[in-house]
Amino acid sequence: MVKFSFKLGWYYGTGPGCTPNNIGNLTTGGTYDYWRCTSGCGGTPNMNDINYVCTGASIEDLWEQGERDFIYNFTGVGPFTVSVRYGTRVVLTIPMVDSDGDTVRCRWATGNECVSVCNSLPLATLDSDTCTITFNATHTLNGMYAVALSIEDFPKTNIIIGSKLYTPNDPISIVPLQASKMKILREYDI
């Protein structure tokens, strides 16, 4: 299951129907186009329509825009390619969970954790607490990028496992995560 969040802007009158009178409401005119799964999909390629909650519109300046979230369950076995539109700001959040309530953070992988894919996504930033990667998709059109992270869990108080003391600054475990198929396209298919 993946949560997608998107923001779109259109020339006024060509998008899903955002007007100055319906700001804050879900548009319904975008049933003609969809976010699509284009590779490794096990079900329908249409993931969600492009309707959004209208966030702004100007008849005078000829623009409309909105944003929305949707959740899609991938039924295929992958691997999956995430494609993002060239020229957009991309925000990807990697879900992190710890069943016993430890503090969980992620970081860029280093050294042997990532080998040839260390630092391969140019000018990306990482919020370690939320495991959110942010970057502008303006580097190379049709470029493929890998992302290597390490997810760590830390005890909330000092604990002893075996004979080793772990403080809230010492990771109990480190789990590597690599996403090796991120492509920057001119279209918005995913």
Question: Contact at 8 Å (CB) between 92 and 145?
Answer: no
Per-residue pLDDT reduced to its tens digit, 25-69: 999 887 678 888 776 666 677 888 889 999 999 999 999 999 999
The model's confidence at residue 97, banded by pLDDT at 50, 70 and 90, is confident
State the average pLDDT for the chain. 83
- Give the per-residue pLDDT at 166: 93
- Output the pLDDT for position 190: 37
- Residue by residue, what is the 3-state secondary structure of the chain? CEEEEEEEEEECCCCCCCCHHHCCCECCCCCCCEEECCCCCCCCCEEEECCCEEEEEECCCCEEEEEEEEEECCCCCCCCCEEEECCCEEEEECCCCCCCCCEEEEEECCHHHCHHHCCCCCCCEEECCCCEEEEECCCCCCCEEEEEEEEEEECCCCEEECCEEECCCCCCEEEEEEEEEEEEECCCCC
Structure tokens at 65: 């825009």
96-102 mean pLDDT: 83
| Higher per-residue confidence, 101 vs 166 | 166
